[in-house]
Amino acid sequence: MPGYELFGAQERKEVNDVLETGILMRYGFDGMRNGVWKAKELEKELCSAFGVAHAQLLSSGTAALTTAMVALGIGAGDEVIMPSFTFVASFEAVLSVGAIPVLVDIDDTLTLDPRAVEAAITPRTKAVMPVHMCGSMAQLDELMAICKAHKLLLLEDACQAIGATYNGRSLGTIGDAGTFSLDFVKIITCGEGGAVLTNNEETYRKCDQYTDHGHDHMGKDRGADLHPYIGYNFRISELHAAVGLAQVRRLQEFLTLQKRNHSIIADVLSGVEGLTFRRIPDPAGDAGSFLSFFLPTEEMARAAVAAFAAEGVGGNFYWYDNNWHYIRKWQHLQNGSWMNRLYDEQKKQVLHYSNQAFAISDAIMSRCISSSISLLWDESQARARAVKMADILTRVIAENTVTA
Ligand SMILES: *Cc1c(COP(=O)(O)O)cnc(C)c1O
């Protein structure tokens, strides 16, 4: 799955370029930096690699989501529809701009069920935020049609899906804006970092300003910049950008390995009777960072997770019990444990949505295992792992099937 597995000479070279000049900041110091502008270079590279007009780097994927929402004009009292299965960062980002997260059920794509989205629309809905979990995509045609019909913004959380595509277009470049995370465990990494992608010039300009205290970056002297809006500091450093630059140039190499190992495992597991797989709206566009599959029952899924662990098959995620990715275990949210006081209406709505039952999502997530795909396996290692997994799954399904 992650780019950190192949950290090497290219990454060291790019970081060294920055260390040679000692200019660790992305802005200014023109005379001292010897023409080294890693953040700027990485933004250009993101545009060409993913076919998008603008890219803004930031300090994290969470900051990217927050900034994208700000730039799109999402704020106090606005409702943002998002899936019950996500990473907690997507939820945090909605709260951070004063908006209200509205969680809805997923389907067997492991992200937004378009019917659930439609049912959740109110006069206050401002945006739909699909989260392209585990390297694969939401049903974007359906979601785009809903957004168009109801005049809603589409913000793609593509933090886990760098390099995945939908009908030939890169995830994160299809909606009004999209975000990548470049944190340490993502498909490519900066150490810590993120990006907002957009084809809209004004949205981009606002992101550029918001991430640097509102500086308009129009003049030669940063100190004399004007500040059309209030901003924050979500800047990335040159050291982080340097790592990302090396990694994005290796993305195709990573994806080739990842997809090869993914298809070896998928081929073998497809022979296991009773096992079904996550529905992928555009299979050719799957980044292959995980293989997600469903056991017939929750009991079998739990037994399989236990057997994988007992028999040394690592990297299998049972999100249903995970307290970062699935609403069911977000106890801090359900208890209303926030540090800064929310305004009353936001608090009321958040608690309401957090305590809602998600029976449809539960029925899917309780049977789901996502198996992460390593870049380090050669073909025979991938095959050996696949055979071991298939044996365990076959046994678990047989042992838990009551024969009449
Ligand atoms: C990782 C991740 C984020 C947040 O990214 P950070 O860079 O860790 O802040 C947001 N959404 C999803 C789906 C993620 O997986």
Q: Tell me which residue has its CA closest to atom 7 in ligand 1.
A: 61
**Topology match between the domains 3-250 and 252-403:** no
CB 191 within 8 A of CB 162: no
CA of 394 to the centre of ligand 1 (A): 34
- Ligand 1, residues at Cβ distance < 6 Å: 60-62, 86-87, 89-90, 131, 157, 159-160, 181, 183, 194
Instruction: Return the domain boundaries, the chain.
Output: 3-250, 252-403
In the reported structure, the alpha carbon of residue 400 is separated from the centroid of ligand 1 by a whole-number distance in angstroms of 36
* Rounded alpha-carbon distances, angstroms, from residue 218 to 27, 36, 52, 118, 246: 12, 20, 22, 42, 28
Pocket-testing residue among 59, 62, 82, 106, ligand 1, by greatest number of atoms within 8 A of Cβ: 62
Which one of 13, 38, 126, 186 is the catalytic residue?
186
Dihedral sign of CA atoms 85, 87, 88, 89 in order: negative
Would you state the pLDDT for residue 404? 54
Mutation pick for ligand 1 pocket among 90, 91, 317 (CB with most ligand atoms within 8 Å): 90
Domain 3-250 has CATH 3.40.640.10: yes
Tell me, in angstroms, the distance from the centre of ligand 1 to residue 380's CA.
32
Q: Which ligand 1 atom minimizes the distance to the CA of 132?
A: 13
**What's the whole-model pTM score?**
0.96
Count other C-beta atoms under 10 Å from residue 186's C-beta: 23
Asked if 111 and 132 count as a contact pair (C-beta separation under 8 A), the reply is: yes
Q: What is the whole-number distance in angstroms between the Cα of residue 401 and the centre of ligand 1? A: 38
DSSP-derived letter for residue 178 is E
Fold adopted by 252-403: Aspartate Aminotransferase, domain 1 (3.90.1150)
**Strand 177-181 relative to strand 194-198: parallel, antiparallel, unpaired?**
antiparallel
What distance lies between CA 395 and its chain's CA centroid?
34
Atom of ligand 1 nearest to the CA of 192: 7
Tell how far the Cα of 316 is from the centroid of ligand 1, in angstroms.
19
Atom of ligand 1 nearest to the CA of 194: 7
Question: How far, in Å, is the centroid of ligand 1 from the Cα of 119?
Answer: 27
What stretch of H or E contains 66?
Answer: helix 61-71
pLDDT per residue as tens, the chain (404 positions): 588 999 999 999 999 999 999 999 999 999 999 999 999 999 999 999 999 999 999 999 999 999 999 999 999 999 999 999 999 999 999 999 999 999 999 999 999 999 999 999 999 999 999 999 999 999 999 999 999 999 999 999 999 999 999 999 999 999 999 999 999 999 999 999 999 999 999 999 999 999 999 999 988 788 888 898 999 999 999 999 999 999 999 999 999 999 999 999 999 999 999 999 999 999 999 999 999 999 999 999 999 999 999 999 999 999 999 878 888 888 888 888 889 888 998 888 888 877 788 999 999 999 999 999 999 999 999 999 999 999 999 999 999 987 65
Distance, CA of 394 to CA of 398 (rounded, Å): 6
E strand intervals along 107-253: 125-128, 153-157, 165-166, 169-170, 177-181, 194-198
Give the closest residue (by CA) to ligand 1 atom 5. Answer: 61
CB contact set of 253 (below 8 Å; sequence gap of 6+)? 6
Annotated active-site residue 126? The verdict is no
pLDDT score recorded for residue 335: 83
CA distances from 4 to 175, 192, 231 (A): 28, 12, 32
- Cβ 187 vs Cβ 2: under 8 Å: yes
CA distance linking residue 58 with residue 231, whole number of Å: 13
**C-alpha to C-alpha distance for 270 and 261, rounded to whole angstroms:** 14
67 exposure class (CB count in 10 Å sphere: 0-12, 13-18, 19+): buried
Residue nearest to atom 14 of ligand 1 (CA): 159
Measured over the CA atoms of residue 218, residue 14, residue 252 and residue 263, the dihedral's sign is negative
Q: Within 13 A of 362's CA, how many CA atoms are on the CB side? A: 6
Contact present, 75 and 100 (Cβ < 8 Å): no
Q: How far is the CA of 133 from the centre of ligand 1 (A)?
A: 10
List of E strands, 221-328:
276-277, 290-294, 316-317
Collapsing DSSP states into helix, strand and coil, what is residue 240? helix
**Assigned token pair, 401:** 């099937």
Atom of ligand 1 nearest to the CA of 131: 13
Of ligand 1's listed atoms, the one at least distance from the Cα of 63 is 9
The residue whose CA has the least distance to atom 10 of ligand 1 is 89
